[in-house]
């Protein structure tokens, strides 16, 4: 062990101070200050990925590092688990939840343990794998699960004791790495696969979602083929994310402005290869990062750094010889940045949702319909059929588009669907990404591939007068 870098307690001051703002929780903060870190054996092969087996090879573990910098103050949290990762700290700062597997071939499950004592206990009963837990509020956690390795990771929410598990995402492609935003939404990484044509390379973009699974919205990166954005974390008015481009081996740290998430994304000049990031309320970052050069014996090395964007070299605060530190979470109460508890707007008694488009001709022109090149007359709605990990589209129905570009239709709930805009000859003008609606959800689209930083235009909408067109026979031909 290279040992702790002196001054770690000072380094963590911003996280501690913010936590101390809640008097009722201050005792637990005083007692639990430190870091929770994922360690991967220095000789292991590992890579940032949505796939937990790549992120957390056998032998990976979770440790709690107290702040006084003494070696004996590292406590193993993942016990005898064969592999563990993706830790999250409870809002009171007294416990951690994380993903782990009991043996090399076992399923990934969610575990919880006190930071100070006891062994991890399994939290969620699920027939498949579960990873990436995060606290939404003290009353609710979010996680990512899949029923088998052939299925995509989907988001679920649960009570903090693991009960009351509810699925909230229904997309095509893996949904992983959820985190709470202070406004109450969830931000997460969604893999998208485009079948053919320009931009067909897989991308992992950031999306937001309400905790009840409604209001899926692209946040950033959905127009960046070949790029992956993982582990988003909210800072003060910004989101930090680890970005990579697997085909070139590039990775970097990005800052995305909440105020303009599509256009306000910048790559930070972080000199190391970032693996995970945590933001404090005063702009400091804790970054788990890999050195861009191997150590003397040719092994990859990674440690925990404190860094102020634009503030020079990152300061190492925790680094060990035998382990690569690949993820870091700061222990604080978290209550100073508590997420809002958003109400649910779904109606479980319904099997459909409603989709209202105000103007399908409104587009930023990148791939959407262009009014001058083709006249949009119909909308086809397509569902997905799955064969293993591949999905093919089936047309469910076609609907007329009103003269003002609007349409309103009912969509089967809790299943992936996408839209195709068609001209008068039935030729496809544009195809949307896969999305879903929840039962009873009324989803409004302001345009078709319109600028996602734009508000809707106030005007009478023809389709609203013809609201509640029933979804016609869900028959179609496989594409």
CB 429 within 8 A of CB 421: yes
Which of left, alpha, beta for 189 (phi over 0: left; psi -120 to 50: alpha)?
Answer: beta
Report in angstroms how near the CB of residue 372 gets to another protein at its nearest: 13
Taking the complex as a whole, the smallest distance from the CB of residue 410 to another protein amounts, in Å, to: 12
Q: Per CB under 8 A, does 68 bind another protein?
A: no
**Of 23 and 460, CB closest to another protein:** 460
Give the interface segment with another protein, choosing from 111-119, 163-171, 194-202, 335-343 (CB under 8 A).
335-343
Pick the closer one to another protein by CB: 266 or 474.
266
**If binding means CB under 8 A, how many residues of this protein chain bind another protein?**
44
Pick 77 or 379: Cβ nearer another protein: 379
Closest C-alpha among 235, 182, 239 to residue 207: 239
Tell how far CA 351 is from the center of its chain. 26
387-416 residues in contact with another protein (CB under 8 A) are 408
Residue placing its CB nearer to another protein in the complex, 135 or 307: 135
From the list 14, 66, 56, 53, the residue with the least C-alpha distance to 286 is: 14
Name which of 58 and 258 has its Cβ closer to another protein.
258
Give 172 or 346: the residue with its C-beta nearer to another protein. 346
The minimum distance between CB 89 and another protein, in angstroms, equals: 22
- DSSP labels for 76-89? ESSTT-SEEEEEEE
Name which of 51 and 257 has its Cβ closer to another protein: 257
Distance in angstroms (rounded) separating the CA atoms of residues 471 and 118: 54
As measured in angstroms, the least distance from the Cβ of 455 to another protein is 3
Do residues 375 and 424 make contact, with C-beta atoms less than 8 angstroms apart? yes
Cα-Cα-Cα-Cα torsion 424, 429, 430, 436, nearest 10 degrees, comes to 10
119-178: contacts with another protein (CB under 8 A): none
Min dist CB 438 to another protein, Å, is 12
Q: Binding pattern to another protein, positions 210-229, x when CB under 8 A?
A: -----x-x------------
Cβ count within 10 A of residue 398: 16
**Which lies closer to another protein via its Cβ, residue 234 or residue 290?**
234
- The CB-of-79 to another protein minimum distance in angstroms stands at 37
Would you call 463 helix, strand, or coil by DSSP? helix
Nearer to another protein, 310 or 388 (CB): 310
Least spacing, CB of residue 239 vs another protein, in Å: 10
The span of 86-94, 124-132, 262-270, 425-433 binding another protein (CB under 8 A) equals 262-270
Please state, as a whole number, how many other Cβ atoms lie within 10 Å of the Cβ of residue 366: 11
Length of the chain in residues, anyone?
Answer: 479
Phi first, then psi, for residue 216 (nearest 5°) are -65, 125
Specify which residues 431 forms β-bridges with. 420
- Cβ atoms of 131 and 108 closer than 8 Å: yes
What residues numbered 426-465 form the site for another protein, per CB under 8 A? 442-444, 446, 451-461, 463-465
- Cα separation of 382 and 384, whole Å? 7
**Residue closer to another protein (CB basis): 80 or 444:** 444
Interior CA angle at 189 toward 247 and 32, to 5°? Answer: 115
1 neighbors 69 (Cβ within 8 angstroms)? no
CB of 138 to another protein, least distance (A): 13
CA of residue 405 relative to chain centroid, distance: 33
CA distance 231 to 243: 9
Stretch that binds another protein, among 64-72, 154-162, 259-267, 301-309 (CB under 8 A): 259-267
For another protein, give the closer residue by CB, 310 or 343.
343
User: 18-51: b or e for each residue (b if 16 or more CB lie within 10 Å)?
Assistant: bbbebeebeebbeebbbbbbbbbbbebebebbbe
Using CB under 8 A, which of 354, 431, 432, 433 touches another protein?
354
Q: Minimal CA–CA distance to 159: which of 90, 222, 220, 224?
A: 90
> Residues 197, 198, 249, 343: which binds another protein (CB under 8 A)?
343
356-375 residues near another protein, rule: CB under 8 A:
356, 358
Interface region with another protein, contact rule CB under 8 A, candidates 38-46, 92-100, 105-113, 341-349: 341-349
By CB under 8 A, name the binding residues for another protein: 183-184, 215, 217, 237, 257-264, 340-345, 354, 356, 358, 408, 442-444, 446, 451-461, 463-468
């Amino acid at each position: 062990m290279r040992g702790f870098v002196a001054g770690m307690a000072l380094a963590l001051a911003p996280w501690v101070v913010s936590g101390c703002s809640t008097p009722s929780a201050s005792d637990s903060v005083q007692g639990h200050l430190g870091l929770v870190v994922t360690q991967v054996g220095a000789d292991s092969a590992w890579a940032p990925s949505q796939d937990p087996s790549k992120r957390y090879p056998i032998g990976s573990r979770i440790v709690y590092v107290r702040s006084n910098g003494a070696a004996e103050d590292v406590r193993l949290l993942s016990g005898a688990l064969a592999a563990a990762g993706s830790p999250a700290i409870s809002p009171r700062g007294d416990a951690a939840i994380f993903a782990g597997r009991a043996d090399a071939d076992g399923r990934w499950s969610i575990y919880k343990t006190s930071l100070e004592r006891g062994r991890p206990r399994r939290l969620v009963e699920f027939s498949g794998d579960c990873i990436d837990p995060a606290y939404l509020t003290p009353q609710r956690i979010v996680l990512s699960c899949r029923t088998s390795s052939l299925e995509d990771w989907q988001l679920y929410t649960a009570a903090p004791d693991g009960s009351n598990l509810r699925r909230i995402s229904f997309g095509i492609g893996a949904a992983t790495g959820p985190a709470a935003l202070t406004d109450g939404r969830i931000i997460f990484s969604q893999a998208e696969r485009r079948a053919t044509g320009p931009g067909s390379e897989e991308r992992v973009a950031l999306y937001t979602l309400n905790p009840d699974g409604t209001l899926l919205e692209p946040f950033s990166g959905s127009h960046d083929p070949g790029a992956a954005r993982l582990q988003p974390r909210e800072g003060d008015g910004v989101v930090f994310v680890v970005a990579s481009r697997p085909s070139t081996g590039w990775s970097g740290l990005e800052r995305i402005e909440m105020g303009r998430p599509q256009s306000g994304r910048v790559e930070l000049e972080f000199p190391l290869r970032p693996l995970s990031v945590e933001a404090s309320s005063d702009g400091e970052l804790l970054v788990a990062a890999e050195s861009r050069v191997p150590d003397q014996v040719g092994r990859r090395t990674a440690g925990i750094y404190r860094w102020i964007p634009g503030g020079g070299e990152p300061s190492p605060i925790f680094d060990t010889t035998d382990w690569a530190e690949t993820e870091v979470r700061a222990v604080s109460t978290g209550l100073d940045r508590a997420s809002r508890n958003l109400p649910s707007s779904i109606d479980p008694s319904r099997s459909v949702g409603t989709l209202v488009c105000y103007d399908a001709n409104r587009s930023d022109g990148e791939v959407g319909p262009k009014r001058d090149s083709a006249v949009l007359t119909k909308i086809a709605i397509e569902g997905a059929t799955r064969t293993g990990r591949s999905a093919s589209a089936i047309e469910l129905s076609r609907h007329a588009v009103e003269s003002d570009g609007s349409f309103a239709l009912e969509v089967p709930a809790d299943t992936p669907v996408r839209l195709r805009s068609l001209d008068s000859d039935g030729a496809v003008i544009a195809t949307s990404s896969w999305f879903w609606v929840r039962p009873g959800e009324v989803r409004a689209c302001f345009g078709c591939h319109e600028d996602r930083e734009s508000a809707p235009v106030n005007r009478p909408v023809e389709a609203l007068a013809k609201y509640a067109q029933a979804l016609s026979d869900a028959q179609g031909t496989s594409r």
